[in-house]
Structure 1
Amino acid sequence: MLLNRNKEELYFEIALGEKGEKIKRYSLKVGEGIAGKVAETGIPIIENDVENNPFFTSKFDSLTSFKTKSLLCVPLVYQDEIIGVIEVINKKGKSKFSKNDLKLLQAIANQASIAIKNALLYQDLKNLFFDTIESLVSAIDAKDPYTHGHSKRVSEVAVMIAKEINNSESFLEKVKLAGLLHDIGKIGIDERILTKKDKLTQEEREIIKKHPTIGRRILEPIELLKDIIPGVEEHHERYDGSGYPKGLRGDRISLLGRIISVADVLDALTSDRPYRKGLEVELAVLEISKLSGIEFDPFIVSILNDLYKRGKLNCFGS
């Protein structure tokens, strides 16, 4: 169990055994039960008869229909900071938990504490990274009230689509970032063109078409973002090869590019513009479906249709 300092409670990060998944739904206040007492004091507890221990709480036994008879609990400590506890329950056979068991569990806890703290620090850095990207993108989108929030919505739809293809954390993070940063190249486009309410001239359209290439150039020096560049550069490519900037066709367009393309157009169609009101999501999905195999990958379009039928896109549209 790991310690949430803000809430002063322990939550189950890992729970193994027959009731493992069920027990992960619950939490424990610091000081509550044997695990809570260990988290509060930092002192390990061996208890071979829990019913006679004044700290024991039967709350989890009642919630899970499990019978706790004996347990061994030690704190997870990193540089004098208690970050959680590790607990083993009901020693097999007729023997009792011993001091040797305690030494073994403490040795495991010492190694686990280092690994867990490193993982938590890494997660904090990753959260900071994503928060920074979202703040940057929000600042860019805010230049035009009609595109405010566009990149974040595109990212959300793209991740929904991606989950139907590959639910791995690494892939979903790439899709999320590509969605957030797909229009980053608009930093290099004259703001008067981006926010122009009248019809664009042919020359102005050609200037705007440069933003995927500008986006690639912005991201190229950042090693951490190199894998998402195809999604940024190719989100205006078309399945029939008539898109830009490279005129790629079919599967030559990256999977990221094909996903972001559909998500981008869905949000564009369902968002209000100075010259028109956004479409209802049902009509937007229908419009995209009409262009399946022309502008968009039929496979990605089929996923979008399935998401709509399952009610997953209800939060989008006017």
Structure 2
Amino acid sequence: MKRKLKYFENKIKDLSLLLNISSKINSKLDIHELLDLIMSLVKENLNVEACSLLLLDRNKEELYFEVALGEKGEEIKRYSIKVGEGIAGKVAETGIPIIENRVETNPLFNPKFDFLTSFKTKALICVPLVHQGEIIGVMEVINKKDNKKFTKSDLKLLQAISNQASIAIKNALLYQDLKTLFFDTIESLVSAIDAKDPYTHGHSKRVSEIAILIAKEIDNSTDFIEKVRLSGLLHDIGKIGIEESILTKKGKLTLEEIEIIKKHPTIGKKILEPIDLLREILPGVEEHHEKYDGSGYPKGLKGENISLLGRIISVADVFDALTSDRPYRKGLDVHSALLEINSLSGVHFDPYIVNILNSLYQRGKLFCFGS
């Protein structure tokens, strides 16, 4: 009776784990975050010293370590495994899982990686990652803690996790491909707009790169960095609606022309508003000419009423403008540009963002992107 009770307790525990993993991995579309999460759950719940997930590079016929957790995790990630080499390579070649509690007796075991990392592999389970009949990698767990043996139940559980992981990985890779296509399309569109004026060519991409540097000091999450990247790329999209003769005018603008130019943040917002995917970056586009003291445009917002995106893009935009060549002047060096920006800290710019820019410069991470 006790044995049956224990059996059902373990089954419920395994099912609970699978449900937990399913809900978590299906909430992640970033491939790196997803795989780190999967393997952290595997390591914790199978109670092992180390685990790794290797993805298959079909062009090279090699497995590379995408995730490796454990004492020597970072060291092992420097290496790759040929398909057919060792236990992991064999599993990738055949698609047949392997459970081995005495690896030194298995003729497939290759001690090379233990030698290179000074890690002792005693037992392991390795299962294939298969999606629609195609092997996309392998997942392995190494050395049960407390010297316990791996069981068939451990193997079944790891296979169940790998089945879920394979679907999630394929979805994440598809999402990544679509996202790359999306960003490439945005960059091409922006380049075409910037190319109208040889003196602003590449400006939007540079603003995006500077803004990302700043943003990573605030919040390095993928979601936030992508919003900043898009805000930077698209901050001047509204200039599509401004007459080219005004945008490319070499002489001084009239007051009327200045007022027309000032409409581009609002025009940019109106252009992007219908696109649901870009709704969250609208403040960065609309507010990048707002000033910290409330003297900016189009709304005259003040202080932290200006969105964080708007405050970041504002500083990045001016930094690139100051350090880039114009028909009427040579671009400033970084130090001189920072002196100008610092003189307007708390007036035009958020002091917090300016301090981040200063810190980047002091650490050698800031330079003239247009040079």
Instruction: Give the aligned partner of residue 282 of structure 2.
Output: 229
- Out of 282, 288, 307, the position equivalent to 2:360 is 307
Residue 59 and residue 122 in structure 1: after superposition, are their counterparts in 2 closer, same or farther (change >3 A)? same
Instruction: Give the aligned partner of residue 157 of structure 1.
Output: 210
CA distance in 1 between counterparts of 2:118 and 2:169 reads: 30
CA distance in 1 between counterparts of 2:365 and 2:146 reads: 50
Q: Which amino acid aligns with 1:53?
A: N
Residue 257 and residue 92 in structure 1: after superposition, are their counterparts in 2 closer, same or farther (change >3 A)? closer
1:211 aligns with 2:264: yes
1:19-73 CA distance string (max 9 Å, x none): 2333233332323222122112222223333334343222321232101122221
Q: Which amino acid aligns with 2:315?
A: V
Residue 207 and residue 72 in structure 1: after superposition, are their counterparts in 2 closer, same or farther (change >3 A)? same
Q: Which amino acid aligns with 2:88?
A: A
1:132 aligns with 2:185: yes
Instruction: Give the aligned partner of residue 280 of structure 1.
Output: 333
Deviation at 1:246, TM superposition (A): 1.0
* Structure 1 contact 177–228 (Cα < 8 Å) conserved: yes
CA distance in 1 between counterparts of 2:195 and 2:72 reads: 48
CA distance in 1 between counterparts of 2:230 and 2:195 reads: 18
1:154 counterpart SS class: helix
CA distance in 2 between counterparts of 1:280 and 1:202 reads: 30
Deviation at 1:186, TM superposition (A): 0.7
* Structure 1 contact 152–179 (Cα < 8 Å) conserved: yes
Q: Which amino acid aligns with 2:168?
A: A
1:247-296 CA distance string (max 9 Å, x none): 11111111111110000000001111111111111111111111111111
1:61-118 CA distance string (max 9 Å, x none): 1232101122221110010111110111123455544444333322221122112222
Instruction: Give the aligned partner of residue 194 of structure 1.
Output: 247
Q: Which moved more, 1:229-238 or 1:46-55?
A: 46-55
Q: Which amino acid aligns with 2:242?
A: I
2:66 counterpart SS class: coil
- Out of 259, 264, 273, the position equivalent to 1:220 is 273
* Structure 2 contact 320–368 (Cα < 8 Å) conserved: no
Q: Which moved more, 1:12-21 or 1:246-255?
A: 12-21
> Residues 171-190 of structure 1: matches in 2 within 5 Å?
171-190=224-243
- Out of 142, 156, 180, the position equivalent to 1:103 is 156
Instruction: Give the aligned partner of residue 45 of structure 1.
Output: 98
CA distance in 2 between counterparts of 1:291 and 1:6 reads: 53
1:257 aligns with 2:272: no
Instruction: Give the aligned partner of residue 108 of structure 2.
Output: 55
Q: Which moved more, 1:146-155 or 1:42-51?
A: 42-51
Residue 146 and residue 59 in structure 1: after superposition, are their counterparts in 2 closer, same or farther (change >3 A)? farther
Identical-pair percentage: 81
Instruction: Give the aligned partner of residue 324 of structure 2.
Output: 271
CA distance in 1 between counterparts of 2:274 and 2:77 reads: 42
CA distance in 2 between counterparts of 1:6 and 1:136 reads: 32
Residue 54 and residue 290 in structure 1: after superposition, are their counterparts in 2 closer, same or farther (change >3 A)? same
Q: Which moved more, 1:21-30 or 1:124-133?
A: 21-30
- Out of 78, 84, 88, the position equivalent to 1:31 is 84
Long gaps (5+) in structure 2 = 1-53
1:10 aligns with 2:33: no
* Structure 1 contact 281–316 (Cα < 8 Å) conserved: no
- Give the TM-score normalised by structure 1: 0.94
Instruction: Give the aligned partner of residue 165 of structure 2.
Output: 112
Instruction: Give the aligned partner of residue 14 of structure 2.
Output: none
CA distance in 1 between counterparts of 2:222 and 2:148 reads: 42
Instruction: Give the aligned partner of residue 119 of structure 2.
Output: 66
Instruction: Give the aligned partner of residue 51 of structure 2.
Output: none
* Structure 1 contact 193–204 (Cα < 8 Å) conserved: yes
CA distance in 1 between counterparts of 2:60 and 2:367 reads: 33
CA distance in 1 between counterparts of 2:123 and 2:342 reads: 61
Q: Which amino acid aligns with 2:82?
A: K
CA distance in 2 between counterparts of 1:137 and 1:206 reads: 23
1:86 aligns with 2:142: no
